[in-house]
Amino acid sequence: MPARLSSSSASVSAAHGRGHSTVLSDPMTGEPTGHHDIDASALIIEENKTLREPPPSSSLVFGHSFADHMLAVNWNGATGWAAPRIQPYGPLTLDPSSVIFHYAPSLFEGMKAYKDVEGRVRLFRPDMNMKRMNTSAERMALPTFSGKELTKLIAKLVSLDSNWIPSEPGYSLYIRPTLIGTQAALGVHPANDALLFVISSPVGPYYKTGFKPVALEADPSLVRAWPGGVGQYKLGANYGPGIRVQMEAAKRGYQQNLWLFGEEHWLTEVGTMNLFVALKRDDGSTELVTPPLNGTILPGVTRDSILGLARDHVSKKAPIEGLPDNLVVSEREINMGEIIKASEKGSLIEMFGAGTAAIVSPVDRVGFKGRDIQIPAGEEGAGPIAKAMLKSITDIQLGRVNHPWSVLVEDLL
Ligand SMILES: *Cc1c(COP(=O)(O)O)cnc(C)c1O
């Protein structure tokens, strides 16, 4: 029997002293539009009567098992967001004419819930995921929403399914917020019905037995994203086309693609991760380079975190052990010509991908135009910068150090 549970959430807004209006207003006139925003205090919980046993952590395969509950929020163009529901995890029923199946109005996020050293549940920078999800929604003509309210609902979902968060270090609950256009109509126009849902999946650490550096294939004839395109948004349609490309690279012994752009062969991203390169400079300093957010780069939360931590190290606000003292942090374009030159000079010292799944993924080889460029990956399979970043970020995620990026779920309920 669905139960309307509003008391706990209502007390949250009361405690914060800012009872929120859930009717949206027109940004130009300030007039109420009659559309409702997502309202966590209207949450309806239908508990799963047939709880399952989470699989043993040692047997987890990324994204193959799902926790007992899911969050679902319907949206309609006339009324806005309906009351959010937490319900048993299970199939959706959609009309075959739903726009999602024809024109792919679909976007997603990837974030994780962690059990900290004291067994409390934490999220890492959820505000960044909410902001990015809204940016993707706007681009895809899907409805936007209050990120604060969705974060509260996600907190509710993961605390209800907290037995699905593995407590071994390095394990976590991967959270997949998704937004799709569901209107049953074949016209190519903004969807008048949409569904936002959140599912979660227990996942293991990327590296169980030490780092495994990857080899990348850089094929200049392939393009992931282009200026004026949609590569900077986490749209489902950006990912399907990369699968075939990765399969082809794998046949030639490369685990991932290094996506290039343009005749200058600008480096953009590694598979579905952001890219970092470390170069030794003539003055003895080390430059940490990542391509700028120029429209073809997905604004990764991990990318932003690495940049922030590296800059705090440089400014001495929060020095990180293992990072070079003389570090320069650059968001700038870098191309294959510069990589080849640096490799020949011996000044190419590190390369790694960065993303929520692995945090860092060291690279030891890049195949480009029929030859392989070797990249040092250290004795342990990762260079000093990748190692230091992995440690700093996991220390924050697991609450080993106090940091505003790590949010306790109990503080969101
Ligand atoms: C999700 C994603 C990333 C990494 O983003 P995080 O927020 O760090 O997980 C990087 N590149 C692409 C193409 C992505 O889809």
Domain boundaries, the chain: 2-203, 214-397
| Rounded-to-integer distance, Cα 271 and Cα 268, Å | 10
Question: What sign does the dihedral 48-50-51-56 (CA atoms) show?
Answer: negative
Give the distance (Å) from ligand 1 centre to CA of residue 118.
Answer: 29
Give the distance (Å) from ligand 1 centre to CA of residue 302.
Answer: 8
Best of 111, 223, 356 for a ligand 1 pocket test (most atoms within 8 Å of beta carbon): 356
pLDDT at 209 over 80: no
Q: How much is the pLDDT for 27?
A: 66
Spatial neighbors of 332 by CB under 8 A, at least 6 apart, are 289, 291, 292
Read off the pLDDT band of 210 (50, 70, 90).
Answer: confident
pLDDT at 102 over 80: yes
As a whole-number percent, the residues of the chain with pLDDT over 90 amount to 86
The CATH superfamily assigned to 214-397 is D-amino Acid Aminotransferase, subunit A, domain 2 (3.20.10.10)
Q: What is the pLDDT of residues 7-36, one digit of tens each?
A: 333 333 333 333 344 677 766 777 766 689
Give the distance (Å) from ligand 1 centre to CA of residue 299.
Answer: 7
Q: How much is the pLDDT for 408?
A: 97
182 lines ligand 1 (CB under 6 A): no
More confident residue, 208 or 99: 99
234 lines ligand 1 (CB under 6 A): yes
Q: What is the pLDDT of residues 255-271, one digit of tens each?
A: 999 999 999 999 999 99
355 lines ligand 1 (CB under 6 A): yes
Q: How much is the pLDDT for 22?
A: 65
Burial 350-372 (b: 16+ CB within 10 A, else e): bbbbbbbbbbbbbbbbbbbeeee
Give the distance (Å) from ligand 1 centre to CA of residue 243.
Answer: 16
360 lines ligand 1 (CB under 6 A): no
Give the distance (Å) from ligand 1 centre to CA of residue 272.
Answer: 6
211 vs 56, 93, 223, 269, CA distance in Å?
23, 42, 28, 20
Q: Class of 2-203 per CATH?
A: alpha beta
Q: Is 258 exposed, middle or buried (0-12, 13-18, 19+ CB in 10 A)?
A: buried
Give the distance (Å) from ligand 1 centre to CA of residue 385.
Answer: 19
Retrieve residue 180's tokens: 């799709």
269 lines ligand 1 (CB under 6 A): yes
Q: How much is the pLDDT for 206?
A: 79
Q: What is the pLDDT of residues 224-242, one digit of tens each?
A: 999 999 999 999 999 999 9
| Rounded-to-integer distance, Cα 213 and Cα 377, Å | 7
| Least confidently predicted of 1-15, 168-182, 329-343 | 1-15
